[in-house]
Amino acid sequence: MVDILDFKAQLERQDSEFKTFQILNNKGKIVDKQALEKVGLKDDQLVELMKQMVLSRTLNDRSTRLAKQGRLGFFAPTAGQEASQVASNYAFDSEDYVMPGYRDVPQLVLKGLPIYKAFLWSRGHYEGNEFGDVKGWFPQIIIGAQYVETAGIALGFKKRGKKNVAYTYTGDGGTSQGDFYEGMNFAGHYQAPAVFFVQNNGFAISTPRHTQTAAKHLAAKGWAAGLPSIVVDGMDPLAVYLAAKTARQWALENGPVLIETLTNRFGPHSMSGDDPLRYRSQEDIDEWLKMDPLIRFRKYLGDKGLWNEKTEESWVKEVNQQIDEAVKQADNVEKQKVSDFIKQTLAQPGQAQQEQIAHFESEGK
């Protein structure tokens, strides 16, 4: 009874319960050989993962420049989160559904969304929300809402007897939203096959992680909904991949899992006027840059003779050509008119909407 009432000891135990899972350290060296064996990726698969991460970084760099030129709408930079986003996405089946947040465009592109449509989504064009056969949905702007959507899709998979999962992402700030808990609680109760990711990049826009919550580990919040929850080095692609792979299998057989990835965004929250140096120091950014997941994985693959500077330069050139074509394609899509926005709001516009459509069309708008 005395131990139960020792509140201080209970708080201290959280650190031992949520140890950070890591396979590849910051120097590109393996620190958990047993876990590496469970990763199970062949050399060509490791190279493909690296190519996808480089694609994500290149897309980030080009999108950042396009945003500065006023050629995109909303854009949330992704540099630094390639292991957290791409390596996790790599662990799922092509028929699994991804429910992204607004920073998770790379996962959608890697699921098959054409890059030009990602640009159109950023510009607010309706064609950017037409997904065709892509197993996913448009990036959620409402913080944490994708957790609720994921729970519903996962339950649908279970009721239909499909061997697929739904997976989703939010940031550390998202764990302070009601939808975050509600989605996990619903999925947990019905043992729905869902995998929830918290990309803890240290800041909810400008709010530091330590001022958001007293929880020592955001993964601990999964326990409140009855979910097995873990903390992973989000700059380590091998650890993130294995965690996601293992969570997917568990979810199919037992129900949802929560994974907190410790990562960092090297740039601003978004290109909509955010200046990260107003709420974090350059020294802090520089320390995280030393943990760049691309540098870590590049070193590992280089030591295995699977990747070199020439290979990367050739691939970046190819990706840039794809992006060049995507920009042209997006620019050539017919611009939306005011009447188009009204037409697309409702499947069957009411009388008032019909009158507005007729009015604007008469003016050529």
Q: Give one DSSP letter per residue of 166-224, joined into a string.
A: EEEEEEGGGGGSHHHHHHHHHHHHTT--EEEEEEE-SEETTEEHHHH-S-S-TTHHHHT
List the catalytic residue out of 209, 217, 248, 265. 265
Place of tokens 């009158």: 355
Q: Is 65 labeled as catalytic in the residue annotation?
A: no
* Cβ contact 59:86 at 8 Å: no
Question: Which among 13, 65, 279, 359 is annotated as catalytic?
Answer: 279
Residue 320 CA: distances (Å) to CA of 30, 269, 314, 317: 32, 24, 10, 5
Is there a catalytic annotation at residue 359?
no
Task: Return d(Cα 99, Cα 361) in angstroms, integer.
Answer: 36
269 catalytic, yes or no? Answer: yes
Closest CA to 269 of 140, 76, 139: 76
Catalytic residue among 103, 269, 296, 298: 269
Q: Are 198 and 258 in contact (CB under 8 A)?
A: yes
The phi and psi torsions of 51 (rounded to 5 degrees) equal -60, -40
Q: Give catalytic residue positions.
A: 265, 269, 279
